[in-house]
Amino acid sequence: MGKTIAKSSIFLNFACVLISAFILIPVVIIFLTSLDPAKYIRFPPSGFSLLWYEYFFSNKVWQNGLLNSVYVAVLNTIISVPCGILAAYAYRKYTFKLKNIFNTIMIIPYVTPSLLVGIALLMAFGRTILRGTYFIVAIAHALWSTSFIYILMQAALSNYDFTYEEAAKDLGANLFQMFSEVTLPLLKSAFIAAILFAFISSFGEVTMAIFLVTSKTVTLPVLLWTSLKYELHPVATVASVICIIFAIVIFMLITKFFGTGMLSKIGM
């Protein structure tokens, strides 16, 4: 037995290296290109400089884009995390009428193409005072994100025993005490993962945002997209690197708090 494992692990290692290299190619290319001082995007790069990084952080438009993305992501997190968590909690804990229909409705935004959601919200709110606000972008993101957190929390709650909460009540805990002493500590890592997922999914989203932002509220991914489409300006590579770094850091945090087990459970 031990021998077979040792033998196959050579192939396994080889395969792992190959696949990792394949996955990393775009990231590496973008990263190297972002360090090229040339005035247009090309590969391989001709030199090494932080010129475009300097440009990115001194340019008002890109700075605003980054800030706008953070605003929208934070707003989306504030809206979608409580909604998603509470919906999943209610679904698991209680029996109520039309429970199956409720479950389906909660999952619909997750499976609806975001392009349609973007257009629909534009048509619905395009002529109202909400047009072009952070709020409407965050709402669009929250639709998807609530649905996703709902699914994520279902997975977390499938391992959660509600008897702990009954035991707490039985021993004299009121609702608030029960939540802070039992529910919160036991589900802490799931809650943190939900927050991080909500943030990153909104931070990098472009399809819905592109319909809903104005020049004032334009987010980083939208800026990136327009810049690539109309100018092919090299600062776009810097913006890409920043998006990637955000994503990587947050996924590392998620695996730290949540473990990889939960990710496989929800099919990520």
Nearest to 240 by CA among 253, 229, 225: 225
Verify binding: residue 173, another protein, rule CB under 8 A: yes
Verify binding: residue 156, another protein, rule CB under 8 A: no
Stretch in the footprint of another protein (CB under 8 A) among 23-31, 168-176, 228-236, 242-250: 168-176
The alpha helices in 39-133, defined as continuous H runs, are 51-58, 60-93, 99-111, 114-125
Q: How far is the CB of 180 from another protein (least distance, A)?
A: 11
206 and 249 Cβ atoms separated by less than 8 Å: no
- What distance in Å separates the CA atoms of residue 72 and residue 138, rounded to the nearest whole number? 5
Verify binding: residue 71, another protein, rule CB under 8 A: no
Stretch in the footprint of another protein (CB under 8 A) among 74-82, 131-139, 165-173, 219-227: 165-173
Verify binding: residue 180, another protein, rule CB under 8 A: no
Q: How far is the CB of 195 from another protein (least distance, A)?
A: 20
Verify binding: residue 169, another protein, rule CB under 8 A: yes
Q: Which of 7, 39, 166, 248 binds another protein (CB under 8 A)?
A: 166
Q: How far is the CB of 90 from another protein (least distance, A)?
A: 18
- What distance in Å separates the CA atoms of residue 87 and residue 80, rounded to the nearest whole number? 10
Q: How far is the CB of 94 from another protein (least distance, A)?
A: 13
Stretch in the footprint of another protein (CB under 8 A) among 18-26, 67-75, 163-171, 208-216: 163-171
The count of C-alpha atoms lying within 13 angstroms of the C-alpha of 267, restricted to the half-sphere facing its C-beta, is: 3
Q: How far is the CB of 93 from another protein (least distance, A)?
A: 13
- What distance in Å separates the CA atoms of residue 110 and residue 1, rounded to the nearest whole number? 44
Backbone angles phi, psi at 114, to 5 degrees: -65, -25
Q: State whether residue 15 is helix, strand or coil.
A: helix
Question: What distances in angstroms separate CA 3 from CA 6, 15, 17, 74, 245, one per listed residue?
Answer: 5, 19, 22, 52, 40
Q: How many residues bind another protein (CB under 8 A)?
A: 17
Stretch in the footprint of another protein (CB under 8 A) among 61-69, 108-116, 159-167, 224-232: 159-167
Verify binding: residue 54, another protein, rule CB under 8 A: no
Stretch in the footprint of another protein (CB under 8 A) among 71-79, 84-92, 158-166, 189-197: 158-166
Q: Which of 163, 215, 229, 230 binds another protein (CB under 8 A)?
A: 163
Question: Between 178 and 194, whose beta carbon lies closer to another protein?
Answer: 178
The alpha helices in the chain, defined as continuous H runs, are 2-34, 51-58, 60-93, 99-111, 114-125, 134-157, 163-170, 175-178, 184-203, 209-212, 220-230, 235-265
What secondary structure letter does DSSP report for 215? T
Residues that bind another protein (CB under 8 A): 161, 163-164, 166-174, 177, 181-182, 185-186
